[in-house]
Amino acid sequence: MRLITDLSHFNEHPAYILGDKITDICAPLFNNFTINHFDYSIRYLKSDKNDMPNIIAIAGGDKNWFRHYLQSDYNFLYNGRKTHSWQSVMSSEALEDAATNFNHYNGIIFEKVNSEYIEFFGFASPNECTPVEFCSNKKLLNQFILYFKDKARDILKTIEKEPICFPKSRFLNIEDSDQPYTEFCQAIRIRKLPLRFRTQEVIFSQREFDILSLLVKGKTMREIASILKISPRTVETYIYTAKDKTNTFTTSRLLDLFADSLF
């Protein structure tokens, strides 16, 4: 494996050379939606011996914009909210640059956080359009990502042999700037959470809601107990109460209905 730290010759890197093939793979996306750019990258949370996080970066639609962004001094911004717009995580200079010089006016970034790395999926649109129509359809989004990873498998393997590296200073977590979100959540905080199950409204406590949310994510009762700092028996009691409130007899049915009731 050869770590790439100098991007002055990025045109010779497989991530750039294979960019046109990525564009071909993304053709169904570009042909059916007002989207003209897609990029995919990984940030490893465990640093290498030089204390620099590795990046596997590829782009379709506009590999020149991606090269320009990587070679600039723009920060890689993230906030852990999983979904955010370019406007919320990019500087005004970068936004104007993207729109004026590359016809990318609006973008949406998805973060998929794993224990050892974060995957980033970026979508951008031209002429002041937005990629919201596509990105808000979770089924389409997931299907495209699975399709992309399948079709680009060999390309990803090639790029993995020469991961691009940046100093940690390029990565800026803007979680600390989320004061408006924190204030908003505090302002709308309530003790009772109404959800509709079938034709009836069911009122959950915050604890019941938290436990069901973790169960839907596949967490075990023991894991939930550890996360919420309560006993497994207490978790079991809350699940029993939730079943009683919703007139369900199995946990799987309870979770099906709970997932359906969420926005």
Q: Which helix (H) or strand (E) holds 54?
A: strand 54-60
pLDDT digit string (tens) for 87-146? 877 888 999 999 999 999 999 998 887 778 888 899 999 998 999 989 989 899 999 999
pLDDT for 174 beyond 70: no
- The Cβ of residue 2 has, within 10 Å, a number of other Cβ atoms equal to 6
The single-letter code of the amino acid at 118 is: I
Mean pLDDT (the chain, rounded): 86
Q: Which helix (H) or strand (E) holds 85?
A: strand 83-85
pLDDT digit string (tens) for 31-74? 999 999 999 988 877 655 455 567 788 888 899 999 998 888 88
- The Cβ of residue 245 has, within 10 Å, a number of other Cβ atoms equal to 17
pTM: 0.74
All domains of the chain, ordered by start, with CATH? 10-176 (3.30.450), 192-261 (1.10.10.10)
State the pLDDT at residue 46. Answer: 65
CA dist., res. 203 & res. 241, Å (int): 11
CA dist., res. 55 & res. 167, Å (int): 11
pLDDT band at 228 (very low <50, low <70, confident <90, very high): very high
pLDDT digit string (tens) for 180-224? 666 777 787 777 888 888 788 999 999 999 999 999 988 999 999
Asked if 4 and 48 count as a contact pair (C-beta separation under 8 A), the reply is no
Asked if 196 and 202 count as a contact pair (C-beta separation under 8 A), the reply is yes
